[in-house]
Every structure is written in C-alpha cells, then in structure tokens.
Structure 1
Amino acid sequence: MRLIVSGTDTGIGKTVFAAGLAAALGAGYWKPIQSGLEEGADTDAVRRLGVTTTFPEAYRLTAPLSPHRAAELDGVTIDPARLTPPAGADPLVIEGAGGLLVPVTRDLLFADLFARWRLPLVLVARTALGTINHSLLSIEAARSRGITLLGIAFVGEANPDNEATIAAIGRVRRLGRLPWLDPLDGPSLAAAFAAGIDCEAFR
C-alpha cells in the first residue's frame, strides 16, 4: 500500500501526521522535494518520531519557499521524471510540500504530479478558523484531477463543528484528529495517533 499525505496549507502539522501514519503502518517515508534546510529536513524529523525506513529526497533546496522558486534560487532545474516513488518500497507514505496547488515547477503543480501517480491521498487540515474554505477547495482540487481521496485528518485543538462541516459538505471520510503535542516525540505521537486516528481506514 502506498499513500500520499498532503495538506491544506503549510505549517499545519502535516509532517507530524505523516510520521505518525508511517510509524503506525510500519511504512517507509519519502518526501520527494525538501524546501528549506536551515531548521533541518522533514526526513530527519520523521526519523526522530519513530519512522525507521526513509528514502532520500530527489531534491533538497535551501530556501523555505515553494519548490519552483527555491529551485530557481539554488540554480536547480527540477526534472519531474526524477519524482517517481521509490521502487520496491511498500508500504510507503509520501509527503508533499505545502498544499495541493503548490508549484513543483512553473509548469507542474503537486496535485498534477499526484494525479500521475494514481495513489490515494490523505488530506491533512488544521482545525482553526479558515479551515473550512481551505479544506473544501483542496478537496475540489483533488477530485477535479481524479485523485482518490481516502479521507481528511485534522491537527489542532478540537473543533467538532468545523470537522463535521468539512466532512459533510466535502463528502469525505473524517479520519480523526491529532492534538498539538508537548512534548512531541515518538512515544507521545504513537499514543496520540492510536487514540485519535482511525488506523483501520488505512489497512
């Protein structure tokens, strides 16, 4: 089984969710493009959170920007042919960068790349104000490209009405919610994931 994890925005806890999912499934983790290296790569973060199998990024870009711009600043040309999930890696959790309509290059969005892969998508959303609009727009973007949407998972403080509204209007399965964790480490994430996320949806 191979799954894509993408978000409705950046900085919403998508990497933490992807780490929790990969650890829960005993899956490998791959982030095809890493933008922003000053605070460390997401692959390093998921290792610290208990994921034992990771695959090297196709591109590691310096600036914490959309990949298309970060690549330009680094003098790098992103070749979509290099953005193919690693062979023989199964199960595998693949994490995008930012949201679905983030540009990979000036001619390719992440949503279009995901559509080429024909893999199911898990959408991660925050629970706070603005999430209904961002989530429903992301759901529409995925469906318009024929991407199979496995469900939506939330990160943040509980907001039952926001979560229920998105699931109902978007006609999408609610996979559960991860709270903000302090401390955030492998054991605390594993416990929160088991308690808050419907792991059977991924099996």
Structure 2
Amino acid sequence: MTVIVVTGTDTDVGKTVFAAALTGALGASYWKPVQAGTDDGTDRQRVARLAGIAPDRILPEAYSLATPCSPHRAAAIDGVTIDLDRLVLPQVTGPIVVEGAGGVLVPIVGTTTFADLFTRWGQPVVLVARTALGTINHSLLSIEALRARGVPIRGVAFIGDAVPDSEDTIVRLGGVRRLGRLPFVRHLTPDTLARAFADGFDVEDFR
C-alpha cells in the first residue's frame, strides 16, 4: 500500500483540491482523519466531487466535527474526545491519499499536532504551499517542523500563479524537491482539474 500524506503550510492553501487531483490521477483511495467544520460541506465531499473515482474509495473520517476551527478546539466545543488510537492509517488495496487539517503544527488533542501524527505514521509527506506573499517563511517553517520530528518529505506542491523566485528559494533553502505547481482553475470539474494536474506534475513522482 502506497501512502501519500498531504499537508499544508496553512489552512485554505489549496491542499484539498490538490489531494483530489492526486487521488484522481493515481486512482487512489482518499481519507481525511479529522474534519473540522461541516457547514459548507466536507473535504471528503469535495474530493468525491472532483476526483472522479468510485465512491467506495472515499473513506469516512474518524472524526467529523461541526465547528470550523483547529481540531483540538472544535472537539472541545462539540463535546467530543479525540482518541489518537483511532487515527490509524486504513488498510486499502492500492494507493491512498491522506489529508491533514490546516498546517503541520495544528493541534489535534492535548499537545499532539498533525506533525506528531505524521511521525507516528512514518509515511512521506507532500507539503502544499501557495505561491502568494509570505509563502517562503511559512514553507520553510513547516519544513523545519517536519524535519525536527523525522517526518520524510516527498516534496513541495505549489498552488497558484507561477512565482519562480519564491518557489526556487523554498526548494533551495529547504533542501526539498519541487513536485510541480497547480494553477488556479477557474471552473473546477473533474476534467479541468485532471488536465491542470497532468500539465503541472509527473504522476510517477507519487508512485
């Protein structure tokens, strides 16, 4: 089973759209262990809509929390106790794309962050970073946090308009691989997303 963990430098950087594109390109299963915020739909529903894969490959969350904030706080507000032993990677046939919530140091419960959970899993992580102002600092801090915990980094996937200097600086200073860039797609459908991913990435880098 090939596991690809998708995390981000912050919330709303585009990691769910990237995860949907990657899931579709690999014909993978998809799992988001903790969903926080359900009023506007869930990331699982967005991936199901955009990935173009069989419904049984979209796995239910271990925890689906109504409140849209950090999982540790959302759980407290919703009256839910998160048990880390439930956040074990599912066993599936073929590859699986696993998406974290928010950035790498977002707390899940107590002092345990997503970066700590990634350490438990020991699987390669793709860091999704937008190309907007501030991305160099956010990306390099995220890379340092992952490395400090011994989390293997598969590379960085950029989201947005091309900003070659920022992208090159992150790759050079962070000592990471540039996997590609997913531009903004005006009308998101499974077809438009698949084409944008194919133009910006080599799917063999994820196998």
Range into which the TM-score falls when normalised by the shorter chain: over 0.9
Q: Residues of 1 paired with 2:202 and 2:7: CA distance?
A: 17
Tell me the CA shift for residue 89 of structure 1: 4.4
| Counterpart for residue 117 of structure 1 | 121
Q: Residues of 2 paired with 1:107 and 1:184: CA distance?
A: 37
Letter in 2 for 1:176: G
Q: Residues of 2 paired with 1:171 and 1:129: CA distance?
A: 20
TM-score normalised to structure 1 length: 0.98
What stretches of structure 2 of length at least 5 have no aligned partner?
Answer: none
Deviations 1:82-135 (A, max 9, x none): 001112343100000001000001221000001000100000000011000000
| Counterpart for residue 19 of structure 2 | 18
1:51 to 36, 50, 53: 53
1:62 to 60, 66, 78: 66
TM-score normalised to structure 2 length: 0.96
SS at match of 2:53: coil
Q: Residues of 1 paired with 2:6 and 2:16: CA distance?
A: 9
1:134 to 133, 138, 150: 138
State the Cα RMSD in Å.
0.8
CA contact (8 A) 1:8 1:100 kept: yes
| Counterpart for residue 193 of structure 2 | 189
| Counterpart for residue 41 of structure 2 | 40
Q: Residues of 2 paired with 1:36 and 1:80: CA distance?
A: 19
Q: Would you say 1:200 and 2:201 are equivalent positions?
A: no
Q: Residues of 2 paired with 1:39 and 1:146: CA distance?
A: 35
Change (3 A) 1:98 1:89: farther
Letter in 2 for 1:146: G
SS at match of 1:77: coil
What stretches of structure 1 of length at least 5 have no aligned partner?
Answer: none
SS at match of 2:187: coil
How many residue pairs match? The answer is: 203
SS at match of 2:17: helix
SS at match of 1:114: helix
Letter in 2 for 1:129: L
Deviations 1:3-37 (A, max 9, x none): 10000000110000001001101100000000000
Letter in 1 for 2:174: G
CA contact (8 A) 2:29 2:92 kept: no
**What is the percent sequence identity of the aligned residues?**
60
